Structure 1
Amino acid sequence: MTNHGSFPRRTRVAEVVGPAGAGKTTLCRELTRRAARVRIENFPDVHKPADAPFFLSNGLQLIPRLLALPRNGSRRLTRREFAWMSILNGWPALLRKEAERGGVIVLDQGPVYLLAETRLFGPEYLKRDSAHRFWQSLFQRWDAALHTVFYLDADNEVLLDRIRSRGQEHIVKAESKTTVFEFLDRYRAEYEFILSALTAKDRNLRILRIDTGNRQTQAIVEDLLPELGC
């Protein structure tokens, strides 16, 4: 496990990220089983009436910023993508308040995941240079809201075997080895870009890189519990 961060700050909000098959969900389950002060949190749900004010407020904030970007023939954001953008805009403030309750919040699908999904599969106009300032403003909003990232990974062969052998479906499960490897590497490149951008805004953000290829989840958790103050 390698640790990158300029200052040891107490972790109150951590995200588990990594390519498909790295063991993210398994690790999250084991962390909550082993430590009572660790709780898994999910982002606001656009389908819940209680979260409607959140999406209304943050959606209205985003609309003028998005309309200012030239589309030049690019498609619009889907409803899900717009909801994710609203989450990225407003969730940091909610997490800062939630962290004040104490304990440790662990995110299985947090900002790094949402940023990667939107940047990889969103409309073309968000991938152009004209959208640079828009993305930088979103990265800035996460300053001090996310304290630690546990970046899980393993060799492509290991990940391929896990993707194909587990029961759940996956978009590349039946694809060729070459296609799967390209898919995994594409996510890695995007994660690296996002982590670099986030650490540029918050030099205290800690990145812990964990190779899950040859280690059992229980052993990894033993290493992580002290990092979480457990």
Structure 2
Amino acid sequence: MEALDTIYATARAGTTPHRRRVVEVVGPAGCGKTTLARALCRRPEIALGVELPRVDHLPHLLHHTLLMLPAYLRARGEGGWLTWKEMRSMTYCRAWPRRLARPDRSGRVTLLDHGPVFRLARLRAFGPPITRGAAFDRWWERSIGLWGGLLDAVIALDAPDDVLVERIRTRQDRHRMKDQSDERTEQFLGRYRKTYQEILAKLRGPRVLRVDTARERPDEIAARACEELSLLADGDGR
């Protein structure tokens, strides 16, 4: 895993030929992340996500199991082991960068929805007790440092709590807070928001475009985001 440092440092310095431009859309539930991502990816210069063959998962799954197992054993299993979704998030946070750091001649911007910032925030804010230990802290800080070298921009969406709560209530797909009280839902949103801010402050490298989705129409948001992504596609990144 240490060999990744060279890859990321090279990408950060911009010395990798045909370096891929990478942008993530983030924000609390109900802010419109997926809607915006789908709208943007209708444009030919923007590609959604990155393919990750299953074989690329295995070394990282093993690494993270060995990393977290001592903390789990010391706690004698209290608080539970990482869920499959949590292990998958840890794996993606380390497996994606190797793929994204490879040269890309297409000139397209790679747009991530439910990408590393989202997954790091979810692990930090809602992970089991073993994610509060020293081993996870080191992994989390190191992961932020690695992504600071690969993300060119972050589109940070948000809206007032009352707007987000209403959107969660009326959305068609399921959500863990859909049937919860306003108070609990606002606490949930607050934990995500606080953790997002912590991560964005630590990333340092990427440009951050902040958007209040309660104040701007979807077409206006898409236009602003397209302008930002067009700059990256033209090579005028950070």
Which of 131, 138, 143 is residue 138 of structure 1 equivalent to?
Answer: 143
Residues 186, 98 of structure 1: alpha-carbon distance in 2 compared, 3 angstrom cutoff: farther
What residue is the counterpart of 2:45 in the other structure?
A: 37
Letter matched to residue 83 of structure 1: R
Question: Residue type of the partner of 1:228?
Answer: L
TM-score (normalizing by structure 1): 0.82
1:86 aligns with 2:73: no
The whole-number CA distance in structure 1 between the counterparts of 2:181 and 2:79 is 30
Correspondence for 2:177: 172
Q: 1:59-105 CA deviation, whole Å, 9 max, x = no partner?
A: 23334333454642442222332222111112111112265532111
Does 2:220 correspond to 1:215? no
Letter of the structure 1 residue corresponding to residue 185 of structure 2? V
Superposed, which structure 2 residues align to 1:3-152 within 5 Å? Answer: 12-33=21-42, 35-42=43-50, 44=52, 51-69=53-71, 71-72=74-75, 73-97=78-102, 99-129=104-134, 131-152=136-157
1-side partners of 2:169 and 2:85: how far apart? 27
Aligned to 1:225: 226
CA shift digits 1:127-186 (9 cap, x unpaired):
134532222222222232111110000111111121122222221112211111111111
Bigger mean CA offset, 102-111 vs 90-99: 90-99
- Cα RMSD over matched residues? 2.3
Equivalent of residue 188 in structure 1, options 193, 211, 219: 193
Q: Which runs of 4+ in 1 moved over 6 A?
A: none
Structure 1 alignment gaps of length 5 or more: 1-8, 45-50
Distance 2:20 2:215 in 1: 26
| Gap change, CA 1:20 and 1:98, over 3 Å in 2 | farther
* 1:93 counterpart letter in structure 2: R
Alpha-carbon contact 1:93-1:145 (below 8 Å) kept: no
Question: Is residue 11–residue 227 contact of structure 1 (8 Å, CA) maintained in 2?
Answer: no
Give distance in 2, aligned partners of 1:132 and 1:113: 17
Instruction: Please give the alpha-carbon distance, in whole angstroms, between the structure 2 residues aligned to 1:165 and 1:42.
Output: 30
- Measured after TM superposition, the shift of residue 115 of structure 1 is 0.9
- CA 1:162 to 1:31, structure 2 compared with 1: closer, same or farther past 3 Å? same
Identity rate, percent = 36
Shift in CA distance, 60/197, structure 1 to aligned 2, threshold 3 Å: same
Q: Which moved more, 1:77-86 or 1:170-179?
A: 77-86
Greater relative contact order (CA < 8 Å, ≥ 6 in sequence): 1
Shift of 1:43: 6.3
Q: Secondary structure at the match of 2:157?
A: strand
C-alpha spacing 1:66/1:166, structure 2 compared with 1 (3 Å): closer
Q: Structure 1 counterpart of 2:61, which letter?
A: G
Do the aligned partners of 2:20 and 2:100 also contact (CA within 8 Å) in 1? Answer: no
Deviation at 1:197, TM superposition (A): 2.4
CA distance in structure 1 between the partners assigned to 2:91 and 2:161 by the alignment: 33
